[in-house]
Chains A and B, each alone.
Chain A
Amino acid sequence: MLEKLLALDRRWIFLLVIVALTLPFFLNLTCKSYVSPEVRTLYDAIDKLRPNSKVLMAFDYDPASEPELNPMAEAFFKFAFTRRLKVIILGLWPQGPQQADRVLERVFADSVFGAMNLQYGVDYVNLGFQSGNEFAIQGMGSSIERVFPRDVRGTVTGDIPIMQDVKDFSNVDFVFNLSAGYPGTVEWVQVAADRYGVRLGAGNTAVQAPLVYPYLGSGQLTGLLGGMKGGAEFEVLTGFPAKANKFMVSQTAAHMVVILFVIVGNVAFFIVQGRGRKGRGEV
């Protein structure tokens, strides 16, 4: 019996993984977690902004990081819109701005935000993608319009109402960067925060987050959401629990399945090995 367990058909493992990941989607579970200080810092910073302040959101990731970063973006949009902030979207990754559109679609599908009747170009704008990595950020330090001459709909940036009094970083009250690698938070810190004194917060994938933690301590970064956990905490804090909380439960459950299998495998291994030792005096 135990020998069989040791040579278990891996399809049973696959089955348990998929069950563990899928089930939470249909259950109303939330992962109870206390709010980390770095998430609280981000919340406070946004909370303190006056209505009509300009917030710049940089989408620097592609679809592979969607599950981790889209929920953060969604919670951020909802929070910003309820606080009547104006949102300027852009991306240094080619597929980033499309992610913003997908998230916005979900935000407006929510009847509360659908009813707010937010106007494109007045309440938010998507300036699209620009290549050049950190040099693009640097360029925005002297003129955002020069780096992003047109928005995704082809409108000249200077003609967009929300952009009327936005020349460079000095007219932006907060930058929120969603990052899955290079270019990303490290570059925003080094150029936008260090050189132009921008107030910067970030959401990072779990793999990426440890690399930017040092910037929190030094104050170059005002708040950080790390991985699904950070996203889930931010959702709870802003009062819009959504996907990250659901995903977080899934992720934890699947993680537990893996850990459980490692334990079971080792227990079985030790018992079988112990028996072998008694029987033959050798393993």
Chain B
Amino acid sequence: MRREIPLLITGFVGAVYIVSFFIPALGFVETVTTDWILIIQAFAIWLGALNLLKINLLKLSTGKKDRVYAAVVIVSFLVMAGAGFAPLLRDGRDYQAAGSSFAWLFDAFYVPLNATMFALLAFFVASASYRAFRARNKEATLLLLAAFFVMLGRVPLGDLLTAALPDGWRMSSWADVIMNYPQLAGQRAIMIGIALGIVSTSLRLVLGIERSHIGGE
């Protein structure tokens, strides 16, 4: 029973969902299930949050050197959650209102942390290009050449180097052609492959052949 019912649920829900796509009267299935998933996620995040708090409380109690960081995690979490739930006290819903402490925390902490972490990519694209773009073999050479021409074609230098060629035949045009033809073709093969992979995986799930998400055989 512990395994059969979940398998039945997956199969039934998946099958109904697929069928509803072809039957106009079942159009509501999509909206309702989308909402339900959002609701399940909203319940489940309590499990995650409690897990985060538990792990950091444990770290705090072990008395190791970096327990201070565990304390920081807990305090940050509670401060943010506290600020966000404050409207409950006055029966409001505008938790992100301008001027609220939640909005201030978001602007002062969340935005710069997020933007800076994202910006680290500027460094990592540089170091990854240095290591990866070497003409080790035929494949790597193609990778290198495509990247090289597209990169050069996107800064004025590329056109400058090929200034002798007529307008429309300079390096920025090479870059465009690489993007518009071979790049597009490769992308298409990948996307079609993915679609078939997903169709097959979905089918395995609906048929109950793939069941490791509920704990395997």
Assess A/B contact in the complex (Cβ within 8 A): yes
Chain A residues with CB under 8 Å of chain B are: 8, 10, 13-14, 16-18, 21, 31-33, 63-64, 206, 210, 229, 251-252, 254-259, 261-262, 265-266, 269-270
- Does the CB pair B122–A261 fall under 8 Å? no
Q: Which residues of B contact A251 (CB under 8 A)?
A: 155
A69 to chain B, nearest CB (A): 15
A258 touching B129, Cβ below 8 Å: yes
Q: Are A265 and B155 in contact (CB under 8 A)?
A: no
A-B contact count (CB 8 A): 70
State whether A265 touches B133 (Cβ < 8 A).
Answer: yes
**Contact between B135 and A256, CB atoms less than 8 A apart:** no
Q: Does B130 belong to the interface (CB within 8 Å)?
A: yes
* Contact status of A252 and B135, CB under 8 A, knowing A10-B130, A14-B127: no
Query: Does B157 reach chain A (CB closer than 8 Å)?
Result: yes
Chain B, interface SS category = helix
Shortest C-beta distance, B176 to chain A (Å), equals 8
Q: Could you give 17 example pairs across A and B, Cβ below 8 Å? A: A8-B130, A10-B131, A17-B126, A18-B123, A32-B156, A64-B118, A210-B176, A251-B155, A258-B130, A258-B151, A261-B130, A262-B147, A262-B148, A265-B134, A266-B144, A269-B134, A270-B135
Interface of A is mostly: helix
Of B111, B129, B176, most buried by chain A (CB within 10 Å of CB) is B129
Bound CA span A17–B156, Å: 18
Range, interface on chain B: 20 to 34
Q: Quick check: A266 and B179 within 8 Å, CB to CB?
A: no
Q: Knowing A17-B122, A64-B115, say if A259 contacts B130 (CB, 8 Å).
A: no
Q: Which residues of A contact B129 (CB under 8 A)?
A: 258, 261-262
Bound complex: CA A269 to CA B135 (Å): 8
Contact of A254 with B134 at beta-carbon distance under 8 Å, contacts A64-B115, A210-B179, A261-B129 already known? no
**Nearest CB of B to A208, in Å:** 14
A63 touches B115 (CB 8 A): yes
Give the top 3 A-B pairs by smallest Cβ distance, nearest first.
A10-B127, A261-B130, A14-B123
How far is the CB of B202 from the nearest CB of chain A, in Å? 26
Task: Given A265-B133, A269-B135, decide whether A256 and B157 contact each other with a Cβ distance below 8 A.
Answer: yes
Partner of B122, one of A8, A254, A262: A254
